[in-house]
Structure 1
Amino acid sequence: MRSIQYLAATGVAALMGLAACGGSSDGGGPDDGPGASAPNILFVVMDDVGIDQMAAFGYGGATPPSMPNMTAVADAGLRFRNTWSMPECSPGRAAFFLGRYPTRTGIYQAIGPNDLANSQVSPYEVTVPKLLKRANYESAMFGKFHLAGPENNEAEYATPAVLGWDYFYGWLGGLPGSIDTTAGGVAPEKTYACGFVPGKAAGGADHGACYRPDGSCSIMRRTSALQDAAGLQCLDAGGIFVPDEACGEPPATLDFERENAHYVSPLVIVDQGKVTRVPLSDPRSRGFRTRIETDAAIAWIKSRSGKQPWMASVTYSAAHTPWQQPPRSLIPASGHAGSDAWDCRATLEGRLIQDQMTEAMDTEFGRLLVETGLARRGEDGRLQYDPKASNTIIVIVGDNGTLGSAVKAPFSTDRAKATAYQTGIWVPLIIAGPQVEQPGREVDRMVNAVDLFQFFGEAAGIDAHAAVPRTIDSVSLMPYLTNPEQPSLRSVNFAIGGYNIQANGTRNGACVIGTVCNQTPVSKSVCEDNQGVWWGAGYDDPSVIPNDGAGYQTCWAVNQALFKAERPLIDIMPEISAAIRNDRYKLVRNTTQAYDPASDSGTSVVTDELYEVDQAAPIPQLDKAERNLLVAPTPEIEAVYADLRAKLEQMLAADPDCPGDGNRDGVVDEEDLSNWSRIAREWGLSSVYDFVTGTARDGLTNDADGQVVRNNLGKICPKTYGLY
């Protein structure tokens, strides 16, 4: 019998009912007041929105996305303008919720369907919701999960509950599906680049029949250029649009079981461990994700009784690829309304669509605050936010840097997300609440994503370092809120991205985006959603050099094939990109698997680069190749390099593998043997008790792993401490 029971759970409608039956209608807003002992926490995560996008931090280029609501919160709180996260979403989010670097968690890149449990958040970790349970908090998450499961994980779709959340409403795998270019089956593949029938002027239609999964139908019309295309109106309403037709017998080709990026997604609801997988044909799975995420958060917050403090994590899917236009009603008058004739795969238009998606997220964030009583609208429509009017802390952060093709000038498009250069890991962080003294300040001290773990504990009155039996890498943030003169609490900052663990040492296939090959995309569809050409197994692009369908499992193999075909070689994205810095200088170490024509094989190339940090606004001097101080180092620079190199190597050596210690409590003991036995008996597949046997993990939990535990019983694992 499995350890998790999967039962039906209620959705947003039921939560609305709870509010109507006596729950607090203000969600812990003004009525709770600053006098309450433990503050509520609203934690908002923006996806792929680096600091380069943020006018509130002095950046954003010539046409920054309009974000008046988040700016209003920043004006009433603190802007932390020297914050590092990790280069990709899963390791960045794991850092928030565990307070531990990837060198300890094993999560180095976005978790994909082939990544083993060893590169997912372990059920034995102390997550933020588990930590806050000690102070009687209720915890919920809305939106993108992407921390563990459902693949290669014993908990499967119940992973949010296993990791401590009382309630989850969102998208477990994280990434939106590909755009449905058939628009629901009304046209052949590749007809509609953005997933909906555009207006008549763009080759579509201005009216037609909108069929819904329940069999109902209504006519959708576009009567003004200021309206969304009728096809987008229908898609946003959860339907499929048949152009230039009246309601009648629906075409047999209509398919309500096709994903469509940000509009049709496989919703999962986990309520106290009870799992509901919502079909794509269910209205709850249909509609613009950002709005769905916000609606669910509002419903849950408003249904709280007021007897317990709560933490709501709203982890938006925006503005992650595939880019897709939001409803115009969510886009403010910023000049970014755009055209439904855009091609969502085109670089320029995709960049503009990301602006729209970011603006729509800000619009919905403002609605979240107003409808939960945390803010109100002034007569001019602007958000009026008073941090002292409620006992609620608001935290807003980006999970990683911006995707290269969407980066704002003067930031580097080729040193962005998935790298440890500034554009890849430098993220906005805003904190507001009644604890903030002298709001409106900028804090230029070094902060890391892992520090939020300790901050959430501090807000609840919990000493995170004392409460967690493992090493955590967090330092305090609360002193920056209460003391405007607080000196820096960090002497170093650290970030790293790499590759996750897959069965038998395999990797994601090769994806060529422009003239750069990388293995970050977890599948062919994700590669193509990011405007790439898939060279892995199942390739079908004519530019790929055929190899009997096997595909290319490494980027160096792509260059090997190009070399033999006498075609130009391409650049290869580092497979490991790490960085460490002090107050003035930053060391970047990249490890790349390159092709060596002399030996006709792959070879590991490690390069170190040193930069002086300059974060001036609006034009910072970023870590570009021409600024590498190791090209002609002075004795002073050599000394700086030696110091940072030693610290980097210390960080990279943190938490060495300890065979047999699956729960990572520092000792191999009978508890490990018991855990292994149960998992092997009830599950048998990937788990944290799958150890290296031979040269790699095999994705199984079996007798070989049990023997590893028995061989190491009584072993004490070395505990490594972090650098702060």
Structure 2
Amino acid sequence: MKKTVPALCASGLAMLALAGCNNGSSGDSPNEPVASNPNILFVIMDDVGIDQMKIFGYGGEMWPILPNINAVAQAGVRFRNTWSMPECSPGRAAMFVGQYPLRTGINQAIGPQDLATSQLSPYSVTAPKLLKRAGYESAMFGKFHLGGPENNEAENSTPSVLGWDYFYGWIGGLPGSNDKTVGGYDKAGTRMCGFIPGERLAGGAKSGACYQADGSCTVMTRTSLDQDVAGVQCIASGGLLVPNETCGEMPSYLDFNIQNAYYVSPLVIIENGATEIVALSDPRARGYRTSIETDAAINWINSRPDDKPWMATVSYSAAHTPWQQPPKKLVPLAPSGVSPLDELSCTSDGERGALDQRIIQDRMTEALDTEFGRLLVETGMAKYNKDGSLDYNPQATNTVIVIVGDNGSLAAAVKLPFDPSRAKGTAYQTGVWDPLIIAGPQVVQPDREVDHMVNMVDLFQFFGELAGLDAHKEVPHTIDSVGILPYLTDPGQGSLRTINFTMGGLNQQANGGRNGPCVMSTACTVIPTSKSVCEDNQGIYWGAGYDDASVIPTNPPGAGYATCADVNEARYKADPQQSQLTLVPESSVAIRNEHYKLVVNTSVDYDPTTDGPKEFSSEELYTVNQAAPVPLLDTADRNLLPTTDPELEAIRKDLRDKLNAMLASNPPCPGDGNLDGVVNAADLNNWRQIAQDWGLSSVYDFPTPQYADGKTDSKDEAVILANLNKACARTYTLR
């Protein structure tokens, strides 16, 4: 299925957007490329916080083993004090537009119910749009998760509208759940890892008939424990295994249209203005995701002309849940004494469940490292030594390599001494402290560390610096970036930031909706975007469809609960009464200076004293640092508040004042949908086109009076008319 992207340029969606359709006001017409402009390889790891990276001095454990990333880190600069946002979509948006969530509206991972106002705007100046002004071509491979396909006029073509010339990956971003039926073979759905296990486990098989979607078949078997079991061999090849059988007529029950975590995924390819939605039965959509992402990047990079600079974003899905075993060939350094990959549990149940999952997650990160090394070698950026180690010389190519994590680690994967109770989804250190590695010919005195504060929004300006562009002058609206190129060229460079900032919260859904509550152990959260995501993270979904009469029934059955406050109310009123759950904050923001960090958490919970919902807020102050191997973290026992110390109170007040100023630095500008800072005829024209051609969620769906309704209609026109000719000042951002 193909959709031609240029047709979108006729609609209001891209009418004045700084997107793929050239426009006199967009300013993104390419200049002649500058010969010295470096290529940019941008690698994003998913849910890999700094606690996973022993090269930064932390982890407390041997694994994961990452020799290829380490080789690049030792040839470049390691930034040891970098914050992102608490979740993936706001963290990634920060990198690509240089703005905090308070400006993008992307406060948490984008889900299928989130409106266009909580997705990257088609009028945003993204990194590929910025670089296009210096003659760059841009491509992305792997996870997108910045907008669409739901509630977005561009749907699966969103990467093109946001400026990428080429895309090969997954728009929604998250891998599907493990296919416990393995393509329909196991109708009871008992294959928790999404493949037929080996003969050493109950119900496993040493061999079987591996069928492909075209009806072809190969008998696969495992002859040694060094090999993958036949079930993994088969799904890695794109097939479905019928265990203990030889090839014959393909069974009619085999279904090649079921997603299977990292092995069957909804691939989208955008090239030359056309969007292709690849069927799940297509061989291109089948195979191990990390390898598919790497192969696509290699092919595109190797096809680039020598006289045109490029930026390739390899946005790996790993090591996000669902945790699923990679092919063994990608983890050659797996330590001895650890259970073979195919024998590890994919659930947290049982004596070894949680430990097995942590091992699988480590192996997935190691597989990412293996494929990253192959990416460098097969594009000529590095070579292998005789012992298999990576020989990377940043002076040998005109390419800058940037490696980051998008947010902190998931609680179940956190490495000590970091705090798993304050991990991904919170503004605490374990949730937002991420690895950042930069290597390239610009680096003076490689293999060094920078302890100064850096934020992922700074990457946007850094990409501009590499292309000779001043992002603050090029972008017509406020960006929060600080240039970090001086850290590469001057080993003595002092701190370029006085504060660091991070925030997470709720995205905007129609009429004030939100994600359903997900109960994980003794906590309740609305971070998971759906029931399946909740369950993939070992949670119990209490939203629509919940009906566990053995715990607390709903009336009517299956109605579920809308919020975590509702869950706690039901538990409080249950007979017998049940303990109240801790709420993962609905809003979590933090600001820090060189030594102190202020965290403010807010949630709405059930209050038994008033028998209703009540907003609860906490303010916490900590000393933090980057000491290795045991840093000062913002753990519950180290909160300095409340305090009677006047010096600490002065520090708290200073940080709180700066936090308030930051949160107030993006005043509303009702009617200005195209981010140009003025409500005028262009907004009316844009609204008219969108209302006529689409009519659903867009950046011209304004809250009236409180919530957006997911429609672009006459109510939104009234907002524009009421504010016509009003200008919105470009706001100041504290850095």
User: What is the letter of the counterpart of residue 404 of structure 2?
Assistant: V
Candidates 536, 545, 562, aligned match of 1:553: 562
Give the Å deviation of 1:537.
0.1
Question: SS where residue 134 of structure 2 aligns?
Answer: coil
The answer to whether 1:127 aligns with 2:126 is yes
**Correspondence list, 1:80-479, <5 A:** 80-203=79-202, 204-335=204-335, 338-346=340-348, 347-479=354-486
1:417-455 Cα deviation digits (max 9, x unpaired): 000000000000000000000000000000000000000
C-alpha distance in 1, partners of 2:369/2:547?
38
Q: 1:350 to 1:6 in 2, by over 3 A?
A: farther
3-state SS, counterpart of residue 219 of structure 2: strand
Measure, in 2, the Cα distance between the counterparts of 1:621 and 1:188: 50
Moved more, 545-554 or 329-338: 329-338
Distance 1:273 1:624 in 2: 50
Contact 1:161 1:272 in 2 (8 A): no
Q: Which moved more, 1:593-602 or 1:434-443?
A: 593-602
2:328–2:341 CA contact under 8 A, matched in 1: no
The answer as to 2:734 corresponding to 1:723 is yes
C-alpha RMSD over aligned residues: 1.3
| Superposition pairs of residues 507-546 of structure 1, within 5 angstroms | 507-541=514-548, 542-546=550-554
Which among 598, 603, 609 is matched to residue 620 of structure 2?
A: 609
- Partner Cα distance (1:540, 1:359) in 2: 39
Aligned-partner residue type, residue 657 of structure 2: A
Q: Using a 3 Å threshold, how does the CA distance of structure 1 residues 365 and 586 change in structure 2: closer, same or farther?
A: same
- Higher mean C-alpha deviation, range 229-238 or range 329-338: 329-338
Q: Is the 8 A contact 1:538 1:551 kept in 2?
A: yes
1:570/1:677 CA distance change after superposition, 3 Å: same
In 2, Cα distance between equivalents of 1:294 and 1:261: 17
Amino acid at match of 2:553: I
Structure 1 unmatched runs, 5+? 8-34
For 1:703 and 1:600, locate their aligned partners in 2 and report how far apart those are by CA, in whole Å. 39
The residue identity in structure 1 corresponding to 2:606 is Y
Name which of structure 1's ranges 163-172 and 341-350 shifts more when overlaid on structure 2.
341-350
Aligned residues: 696
**Alignment correspondent of 1:66:** 65
Q: Partner of 2:479: helix, strand, or coil?
A: coil
Q: Could you tell me whether the CA contact under 8 Å between 1:437 and 1:481 is conserved in 2? A: yes
Question: In 2, distance between residues paired with 1:442 and 1:69?
Answer: 18
Question: What is aligned with 2:502?
Answer: 495
Q: Secondary structure, in 3 states, of the residue corresponding to 2:160?
A: helix
Whether the 8 Å contact between 1:448 and 1:494 is mirrored in structure 2 is: yes
Per-residue deviation at 1:5? 5.2
Does structure 2 retain, via aligned residues, the 8 Å contact 1:99–1:453?
yes
Contact 2:143 2:170 in 1 (8 A): yes
- Name the CA distance, whole Å, in 2 between partners of 1:658 and 1:377: 54
Tell me which amino acid in the other structure corresponds to 1:677: R
Determine the structure 2 residue equivalent to 1:10. Answer: none
Match of 2:31 in 1: none
1:579 aligns with 2:590: yes
For 1:454 and 1:88, locate their aligned partners in 2 and report how far apart those are by CA, in whole Å: 21
The alpha-carbon deviation at position 540 of structure 1 amounts to 4.5
1:444-492 CA-partner distances (Å, limit 9, x unpaired): 0000000000000000000000000001000010000000000000000
Single out whichever of 327-336 and 644-653 deviates more from structure 2.
327-336
Q: 2:664 aligns with which of 653, 657, 666?
A: 653
1:681 to 673, 688, 692: 692
SS in structure 2 at match of 1:690: coil
Do 2:35 and 2:307's aligned partners in 1 also have CA atoms closer than 8 Å?
A: no
Q: Which residue of 1 aligns with 2:678?
A: 667
* CA deviations over 1:127-167 (Å, ceiling 9, x no partner): 00000001000000000000010100011111000000000
Equivalent residue, structure 2, for 1:699: 710
What letter matches 2:167 in structure 1?
A: F
Indicate the residue corresponding to 1:24 in structure 2: none
Give the aligned residue type for 1:173: G
Shift of 1:349: 1.5
Deviations 1:654-686 (A, max 9, x none): 212211111121111011111100100111000
Specify whether residues 276 and 544 from structure 1 end up closer, same or farther in structure 2 by C-alpha distance, changes over 3 A only: farther
Partner of 2:30: none
Alignment check: 8 A CA contact 1:328 1:337 kept: no
Name the SS for the 2:463 alignment partner. helix
In the alignment, is the contact (CA less than 8 A) between 2:197 and 2:205 conserved in 1?
A: yes
Q: Deviation of residue 560 (structure 1)?
A: 0.1
| In structure 2, C-alpha distance between the alignment counterparts of 1:119 and 1:3, rounded to whole Å | 25
Distance 1:226 1:381 in 2: 18
Matching residue of 2:37: 38
- CA shift at 1:547, angstroms? 3.1
| In structure 1, distance between residues paired with 2:629 and 2:553 | 44
CA displacement at 1:379 relative to structure 2: 1.3
Q: 1:308 and 1:110, CA in 2 relative to 1: closer, same or farther beyond 3 A?
A: same
* 2:174 alignment partner AA: L
**1:343–1:337 distance in 2 versus 1, CA, 3 Å:** closer
Alpha-carbon shift at residue 6 of structure 1 (Å): 7.6
Residue 544 of structure 1 and its aligned partner are, at CA, apart by: 4.7
Cα drift, residue 633 of structure 1 = 4.3
SS at match of 2:341: coil
Please state whether the residue corresponding to 1:311 is helix, strand or coil.
strand
Give, as a single letter, the amino acid of the residue that structure 1 aligns with 2:361.
Answer: Q
Partner amino acid for 2:172? G
Q: Secondary structure at the match of 1:587?
A: strand
Shift of residue 345 of structure 1? Answer: 2.0
What secondary structure sits across from 2:269 in the alignment? strand
Query: 8 Å contact 1:36–1:391 — kept in the other structure?
Result: no
Deviates more, 1:656-665 or 1:382-391: 656-665
Measure how far apart 1:381 and its partner are.
1.0
Quote the offset at 1:543 in angstroms: 3.6
Aligned partners of 2:322, 2:121: CA distance in 1, in Å?
29
Q: Is the 1:117–1:153 Cα contact (8 Å) retained in structure 2?
A: yes
Question: Contact conserved, 1:138 with 1:166, CA < 8 A, in 2?
Answer: yes
2:325–2:363: 8 Å Cα contact kept in structure 1?
yes
For residues 66-86 of structure 1, what are the alpha-carbon distances to aligned partners after superposition, in whole Å with 9 as ceiling and x for unaligned? 000000000000000000000
1:41-64 per-residue CA deviation (whole Å, 9 max, x = no partner) reads 000000000000001101122232
Distance 2:347 2:667 in 1: 42
Report what 2:29 is aligned to: none
**Which one-letter code corresponds to 2:106 in the other structure?**
I
Q: Distance in 2 between matches of 1:339 and 1:64?
A: 15
Unaligned runs of 5+ in 2: 9-33, 349-353
